[in-house]
Structure formats: structure tokens, C-alpha cells
A and B are shown apart, each in its own frame.
Chain A
Amino acid sequence: SAVISQKPSRDICQRGTSLTIQCQVDSQVTMMFWYRQQPGQSLTLIATANQGSEATYESGFVIDKFPISRPNLTFSTLTVSNMSPEDSSIYLCSVVGQDQKYGYTFGSGTRLTVV
């Protein structure tokens, strides 16, 4: 299965600023996803990162707040914009390969604290 490198692993940011999270995969993958895990909660899908086109966002998530890029089949970024303390969460990148044999693989996550 694919191996994901997600950066940064953690950060503490001031409110009103933005943070960009990177997700690098060691092989070409069909689909890439971004999830949010708020404290004490399970994972919620933010969006599907589409290669060469705009991301597909889930209900409650908008592009202005969470812009996503996917320039190729192995890399994607998620930006958390104009942060507030409510954005404090773990953000995770996930991929699934073309054969989908191994299911979904997750990165190690980015632990974001907004102060």
C-alpha cells in the first residue's frame, strides 16, 4: 500500500493566520482526501482533492476556508485560512490506490492548535 508523508506534524498558530499542510505520496494514487478530527470526535471528510481541477467539498466546508490543491497524482495541499480556535483539530490526508486492494491509507496527521 501507499506510504504518505504529511507535514507539518504539528503547529501552533495565531488566530487570523493561515496554515498550509502538505501530503506527499510515494506512488501515484487515484483519489486523495482530506479529513478533520476535532478533539474527542471521529473523522469528518472535508473534501476530495481532484487532480487538475477544483476539489469537491462536503457539506459545511467551503473553498474560501479550506483551499486545496492537487497539481499531480502524488501531492496535495490543504490550507486552513483565517484560523480561529475552533479550527484546532487534527487534519489527515488519505489516499486510495487505483486497484483499491488495500483500502484507504492515512497520513500521520497534522495537529493544529490555534491560539
Chain B
Amino acid sequence: KQEVTQIPAALSVPEGENLVLNCSFTDSAIYNLQWFRQDPGKGLTSLLLIQSSQREQTSGRLNASLDKSSGRSTLYIAASQPGDSATYLCAVRPKYSGGGADGLTFGKGTHLIIQP
């Protein structure tokens, strides 16, 4: 059974710092990996999607890497801002054997606070 672990569980840093969030998964047979952001009491906003054949994806100040063989992904946030404060979730999609897609397996998230 796939398990996803995110470290750290919580992080509080001053504005302007660069930071790294870590995600690990136990089964390397994945189709892709997706990073999400969740604001308190809200739904999920997709940040970056990395296909299993890719090594990294970038969007603005965000960069996500994937090392499928070692079961690891990192989300790098450059020049952090108070608006980046949220919970960041990592999720993997398993390779499917049938004709459809399977649901995602999520980590418990990293609760990030950026201090002004």
C-alpha cells in the first residue's frame, strides 16, 4: 500500500527566506506526483504536476523535483512571502492497470507560516 510522508509537519520562517519542503513515497510505481496548496477550511489549489518521466517542474517562485527511483520529491519556494502561508500537500497517483485513473494518495502536509 502506498504511503506518502511529508517533512517537516510544520515550518515557520521569516519573510524572504528560501525553503524546501520534502515528500517521500514508498512505492515508486507512480504515474505522476502533484503538489497542492490548501488555505484554512478551503479546497486544494494545484501548484505543480510532475509526470513520472520528468525530473522537475517550475512555476514562478516554485520548483518541484522528482526522484522516482528513491521515492522522493521536494518543493522549493524562493523568496517566501506572507501570502505563501498555507498547508502544502504532496500527492501521488499510482500507475493503473485498468482503463481509468485511480485516486490520489496524500501526505499529511506541511503547515507553513511565513512571518512578515
Contacts and interface: CB of A to CB of B under 8 A. Distances in A.
A33 B96 CA distance: 15
Contacts of B108: 41-42
A35 interface: yes
A28 interface: no
A60 B108 CA distance: 19
B33 to A, nearest CB: 9
Contact of B101 (A90, A92, A96): A96
Interface string A44-82: 110010000000001000000000000000000000000
Contacts of B89: 42-43
A22 to B, nearest CB: 14
A45 B104 contact: yes
Contact of A102 (B49, B91, B93, B109): B49
Given A41-B108, A42-B108, A43-B89, A108 B42 contact: yes
Given A42-B89, A42-B107, A104 B42 contact: no
A58 B102 CA distance: 11
Q: What interface size band does chain B fall in?
A: 20 to 34
A94 B45 CA distance: 11
B48 to A, nearest CB: 9
Contacts of A30: 100-101
Nearest to A107: B43
B36 interface: yes
13 contacts: A6-B43, A42-B106, A43-B106, A45-B103, A45-B104, A92-B43, A100-B101, A104-B93, A105-B46, A106-B46, A108-B42, A109-B42, A111-B41
